[in-house]
């Protein structure tokens, strides 16, 4: 079996370039699917998706199928979707409500916490048959961070809050942009997929360099609507000097902060969405203009793209989850969020605005990932360049809290996450199900 | 700026009709055919089928302004994720008013829309058409459709869906006021269709 010591990591990942094997090697992918997905704290789902006792939702921990359930007493369990008997998946519904999970193969029956409750024709087993050891295998460490549920199989991982570190502060800021700090993820999800490695999405997540090229069609249609307006022309002329920043936050987490470059109003800057004008007018009439203005600022994306390694991204008002399928296939699921404590009219606008970018922007990102994947099939040209801004000493972009901050067009955040990646891949980890 | 962009496409500036009442009526009408019996008016069905066939051909021929001209000024073009969900609190794969539908067409025509370059070929197939004259004077048309998309270097993509058209009459001509497309694999991950 290939292990991580079989790879020459300092050759594969250098300061300003990365070798194609990091994207294309199936053995390396297998190691990622255990060490990163499951070895690190990995996002599973949001508490609002399993609101009450009996609620469950299937999720992925890398390639492992997990059921996240809420037990009778309200506590959260992450169970492998795998019968303790002959390994059949016990749950095929994506989400729902249940009082127990019954394996369809031989009828073994489990409680919401995974305990084995009953085995048909139990007298066929000997006296030493112990039901307590034959529960659904569990993810041993499951923790919620302000509603976001993560799990790890690695007893040596630090506490979730410490792993999130600065990214946790940004995540809290994102959550607190919602009135009363309450978000709900029951508004549907975009499910897209592409041919290519999952890290291509990760490379793109803290990249403002691609915007005026990959998303040129979106820029064009916005200009067609607003021929006299700026629509990003100032940014396009001098992107390195624009107040849009990318951050490397440590532990592989990256962050794009657009808000300083978005002008006085995020809402006014949002692209036209169905019903936007009359929806805003109705809110102003019902709430008064000051309260409506404050709420409307919270409706679209918050100019914060936060990427929590290895699989959670906050993009605009949505939660994107990276789900690797194989070394060359990746699924991206975008969960829309609603503001729990806002008037319904505000959420209508939030939904209509959330529908814009996946339709008119994300499609071109996916196309870029697929083109990178095509290009990575040339063994004789193995290097991927991410040297933009590498001439600037790290000390010059390091903040007092340890974050590295540079123009959004620099590639330092990629260098940062790949550094962390390289460390994780070389760390000995013992992963166990409980 | 791409000077080909939007050539011959008329742009609507305002989005002024998505009121609370409009949404409520849209959801009520969506559910109105749930228990509908058979369609008996064969002449009406043939007329409506001709419109759907024409619409399909306009898309296949990429006659986008002609296609837009089939739609009312207060149209909804809609591909829901959940055909039973309240669109006011849920996202859809597509939920376009007239203005956003025009944006969709504009992007489709841009040579910088990398996801549709090289320009794909399309074939829309219409079947199982049923039509009814509704008490409110509108017409409703249900059909089964399959859309094929082919782009050089890619597999042929296939989309299987049910359509529900609401037609409204204006000066003796029938226009599409609502088109809802329900894809059979909407809960799977797939590359989104260009135009259904």
pLDDT in tens, A90-130: 999 999 999 999 999 999 999 999 999 999 999 999 999 99
Q: What pLDDT is stored for residue A227 in this prediction?
A: 78
Pairwise CB contact (< 8 Å): B85 & A363: no
The nearest CA of chain B is from the CA of A261 a distance in Å of: 22
A49-89 pLDDT per residue, tens: 999 999 999 999 999 999 999 999 999 999 999 999 999 99
The nearest CA of chain A is from the CA of B66 a distance in Å of: 19
A334-366 pLDDT per residue, tens: 999 999 999 999 999 999 999 999 999 999 999
The more confidently predicted of residues A4 and A405 is A405
Q: Give the model's confidence band at A177: pLDDT under 50 very low, under 70 low, under 90 confident, else very high.
A: very high
List CB contacts of B154: < 8 A, sequence separation 6 or more.
none
Angle ∠(A241,A244,A248) on CA atoms, nearest 5: 110
Q: What pLDDT is stored for residue A231 in this prediction?
A: 67
Q: What pLDDT is stored for residue A235 in this prediction?
A: 72
Residue of B nearest to A195 (CA): B191
CA distance B87 to B68: 23
Residues of chain A neighbouring B85 (CB-CB closer than 8 A)? 188
Residue of B nearest to A336 (CA): B91
Say what the alpha-carbon torsion angle A238, A241, A244, A247 is, to the nearest 10 degrees.
130
Q: Is there a contact between B138 and B166 (Cβ–Cβ < 8 Å)? A: yes
Query: What's the 3-state SS for A245-273?
Result: EEEEEECCEEEEECHHHCCCCHHHHCCCC
Q: What pLDDT is stored for residue A241 in this prediction?
A: 86
Q: How many CB pairs under 8 A join A and B?
A: 131
Which of 55-84 (B) contact A at CB < 8 A? 81-82
Distances (CA, A) of A389 to A18, A204, A213, A433: 16, 16, 19, 42
CA distance A11 to A46: 39
Q: What pLDDT is stored for residue B1 in this prediction?
A: 37
Tokens found for residue B194: 């260009």
The ipTM is 0.96
CA distance A337 to A281: 23
B14-43 pLDDT per residue, tens: 788 999 999 999 999 999 999 999 999 999
Answer yes or no: is pLDDT of A237 > 90.
Answer: no
Q: In angstroms, how far is the first alpha carbon of chain B from the final one?
A: 28
B91 interfacial to chain A (CB closer than 8 Å): yes
Q: What pLDDT is stored for residue B4 in this prediction?
A: 52
Partner residue facing A355 (CB), from B91, B112, B188: B91
Residues of chain B neighbouring A279 (CB-CB closer than 8 A)? 18
State percent of chain A over pLDDT 90: 90
A336 interfacial to chain B (CB closer than 8 Å): yes
Q: What pLDDT is stored for residue B2 in this prediction?
A: 42
List CB contacts of A185: < 8 A, sequence separation 6 or more.
A45, A46, A48, A49, A319, A335, A336, A337
Pairwise CB contact (< 8 Å): A188 & B90: yes
Pairwise CB contact (< 8 Å): A277 & B15: yes
Q: Give the model's confidence band at A3: pLDDT under 50 very low, under 70 low, under 90 confident, else very high.
A: confident
Give the global pTM: 0.96
Which of 224-283 (A) contact B at CB < 8 A? 224-225, 272-279, 282
Pairwise CB contact (< 8 Å): A359 & B189: no
B61-120 pLDDT per residue, tens: 999 999 999 999 999 999 999 999 999 999 999 999 999 999 999 999 988 999 999 999
The nearest CA of chain B is from the CA of A278 a distance in Å of: 6
Partner residue facing A191 (CB), from B90, B114, B188: B188
Pairwise CB contact (< 8 Å): B113 & A338: no
Select from A239, A257, A250, A209 the least CA-distant residue to A385: A209
SS3 A18: strand
Residues of chain A neighbouring B191 (CB-CB closer than 8 A)? 192-193, 366
Mean pLDDT of A243-266: 93
CA distance A370 to A191: 16
Q: Give the model's confidence band at A238: pLDDT under 50 very low, under 70 low, under 90 confident, else very high.
A: confident
């Amino acid at each position: 079996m290939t292990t991580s010591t079989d790879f020459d990591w300092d050759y594969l990942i250098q300061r300003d370039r990365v070798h194609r094997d990091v994207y294309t090697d199936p053995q390396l992918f297998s190691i990622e699917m255990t060490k990163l997905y499951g070895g690190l704290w990995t996002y599973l789902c949001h508490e609002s998706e399993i609101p009450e006792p009996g609620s469950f939702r299937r999720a992925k921990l890398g390639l492992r199928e997990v059921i996240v359930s809420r037990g009778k007493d309200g506590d959260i369990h992450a169970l492998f979707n795998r019968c303790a008997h002959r390994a059949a998946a016990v749950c095929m519904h994506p989400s729902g409500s249940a009082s127990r999970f019954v394996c369809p193969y031989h009828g073994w029956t489990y409680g919401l916490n995974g305990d084995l409750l009953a085995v048909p024709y139990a007298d066929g087993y000997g006296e030493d048959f112990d039901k307590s050891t034959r529960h659904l295998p569990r993810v041993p460490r499951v923790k919620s961070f302000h509603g976001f549920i993560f799990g790890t199989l690695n007893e040596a991982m630090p506490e979730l809050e410490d792993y999130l570190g600065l990214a946790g502060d940004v995540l809290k800021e994102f959550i607190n942009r919602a009135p009363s700090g309450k978000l709900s993820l029951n508004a549907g999800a975009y499910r897209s997929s592409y041919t290519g490695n999952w890290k291509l999405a990760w490379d793109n997540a803290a990249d403002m360099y691609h915007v005026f090229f990959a998303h040129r069609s979106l820029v064009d249609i916005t200009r067609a609507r607003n021929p006299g307006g700026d629509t990003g022309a100032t940014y396009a002329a001098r992107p390195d000097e624009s107040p849009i920043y990318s951050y490397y936050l440590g532990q592989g987490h990256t962050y794009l902060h657009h808000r300083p470059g978005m002008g006085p109003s995020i809402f006014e800057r949002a692209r036209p969405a169905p019903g936007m004008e009359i929806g805003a007018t109705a809110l102003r009439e019902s709430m008064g203009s000051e309260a409506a203005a404050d709420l409307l600022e919270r409706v679209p994306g918050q100019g914060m793209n936060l990427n929590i390694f290895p699989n959670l991204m906050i993009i605009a008002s949505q939660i994107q989850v990276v789900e690797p399928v194989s070394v060359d296939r990746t699924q991206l699921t975008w969960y829309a969020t609603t503001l729990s404590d806002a008037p319904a009219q505000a959420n209508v606008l939030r939904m209509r605005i959330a529908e814009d970018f996946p339709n008119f922007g994300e499609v071109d990102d996916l196309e870029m990932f697929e083109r990178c994947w095509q290009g990575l099939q040339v063994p004789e040209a193995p290097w991927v360049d991410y040297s933009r801004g590498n001439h600037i000493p790290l000390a010059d972009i390091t903040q007092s809290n340890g974050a590295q901050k540079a123009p959004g067009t620099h590639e330092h955040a990629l260098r940062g996450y790949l550094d962390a990646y390289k460390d994780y891949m070389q760390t000995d980890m013992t992963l166990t199900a409980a | 700026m791409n000077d080909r962009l939007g050539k011959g496409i008329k742009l609507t500036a305002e989005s002024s009709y998505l009121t609370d009442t409009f949404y409520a009526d849209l959801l009520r009408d969506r559910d109105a055919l749930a228990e509908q019996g058979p369609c008996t008016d064969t002449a009406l069905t043939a007329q409506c089928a001709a419109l759907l066939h024409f619409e399909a051909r306009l898309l296949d021929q990429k006659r986008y302004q002609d296609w837009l001209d089939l739609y009312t000024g207060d149209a909804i073009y809609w591909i829901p994720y959940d055909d039973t969900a309240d669109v006011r609190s849920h996202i859809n794969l597509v939920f376009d008013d007239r203005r956003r539908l025009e944006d969709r067409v504009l992007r489709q025509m841009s040579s910088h829309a990398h996801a549709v370059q090289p320009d794909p070929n399309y074939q829309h197939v219409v079947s199982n058409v049923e039509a009814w004259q509704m008490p409110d004077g509108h017409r409703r048309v249900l059909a089964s459709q399959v859309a094929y998309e082919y782009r050089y270097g890619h597999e042929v993509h296939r989309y299987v869906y049910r359509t529900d058209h609401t037609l409204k009459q204006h000066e003796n001509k029938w226009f599409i006021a609502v088109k809802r497309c329900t894809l059979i694999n909407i809960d799977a991950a797939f590359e989104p269709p260009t135009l259904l």
